[in-house]
């Protein structure tokens, strides 16, 4: 059986810190691990306890097909105006739309459902970093808590990972 490193090691794990009583299970980790804090994301940087997570993968060809068949209806149903303006400004909008579709699904997983897609908006900082703005029922369900989001996409697939944290 592998021996666990001593709690007094220079890089103790969060389990070791809990065992020696330096932190509790609810201690936010990012201030303890500044090198790992997600500083690039608006609203992030530590402090909030994680309440829920959500992840989603979206098939880009499916989005491309829907865009080809009924572009206006599809975009209007899924995207807010600012999201549509950004995606349609890209040479190939489909992966960007798929990433936002995934983001909305991931956020809905965090919030527990019962939310309209357009109540979840992916905003974009100058750096390109995404953030989430909520309205309506989605904002009510979040109850002042924040959602952190990260997106990635390839020509065939898009992925979003969302984290609901105490504000
Ligand atoms: C920000 C960065 C990591 C994005 O990587 P990428 O592979 O181009 O992006 P992906 O295809 O995985 O994902 C694209 C999404 O990333 C997100 N993104 C873009 N810039 C971002 C940033 N600064 N921070 C966080 N997320 C960002 C966006 O949501 C984007 O999707 P969108 O255009 O539809 O809004 C990359 O552009 C970068 O700056 N890399 C640093 C490279 C570097 O410094 N190398 C030096 C080592 S030698």
Query: 41-96, pLDDT tens digit by residue?
Result: 444 555 579 999 999 999 999 999 999 999 999 999 999 999 999 999 999 999 99
The DSSP H or E segment spanning 80 is none
Instruction: State which ligand 1 atom lies nearest to the alpha carbon of 128.
Output: 20
Q: What are the respective helix, strand and coil percentages of the chain, to the nearest 5?
A: 40, 20, 40
Cα–Cα distance measured from residue 153 to residue 148, given in angstroms and rounded to the nearest whole number: 17
- Measured in angstroms, how far is the CA atom of residue 105 from the centroid of ligand 1? 21
- Measured in angstroms, how far is the CA atom of residue 57 from the centroid of ligand 1? 17
Q: If you average pLDDT over residues 98-106, what whole number do you get?
A: 98
Output the six-digit token pair for 119: 């109540």
Q: Which of 37, 151, 158, 163 to mutate to test the pocket of ligand 1 (most atoms within 8 A of CB)?
A: 151
CB atoms within 10 A of CB 125: 11
CATH topology for 50-165 is: Ribosomal Protein L22; Chain A (3.90.470)
pLDDT tens per residue, range 114-135: 899 999 999 999 999 999 999 9
Each domain of the chain, given as residue ranges in start order, spans 1-37, 50-165
The DSSP H or E segment spanning 76 is helix 71-78
């Amino acid at each position: 059986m592998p021996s666990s490193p001593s709690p007094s090691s220079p890089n103790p794990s969060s389990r070791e810190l809990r065992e020696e009583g330096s932190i509790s299970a609810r201690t936010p980790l990012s201030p303890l691990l500044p090198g790992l804090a997600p500083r690039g994301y608006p609203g992030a940087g530590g402090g909030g306890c994680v309440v829920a997570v959500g992840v989603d993968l979206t098939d880009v060809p499916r989005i491309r097909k829907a865009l080809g068949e009924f572009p206006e209806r599809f975009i209007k149903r899924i995207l807010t105006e600012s999201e549509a303006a950004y995606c349609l400004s890209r040479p190939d909008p489909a992966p960007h739309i798929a990433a936002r579709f995934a983001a909305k699904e991931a956020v809905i997983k965090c919030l527990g459902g019962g939310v309209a897609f357009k109540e979840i908006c992916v905003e974009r900082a100058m750096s390109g970093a995404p953030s989430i703005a909520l309205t309506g029922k989605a904002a009510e369900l979040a109850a002042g808590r924040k959602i952190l989001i990260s997106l990635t996409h390839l020509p065939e697939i898009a992925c979003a990972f969302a984290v609901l944290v105490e504000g």
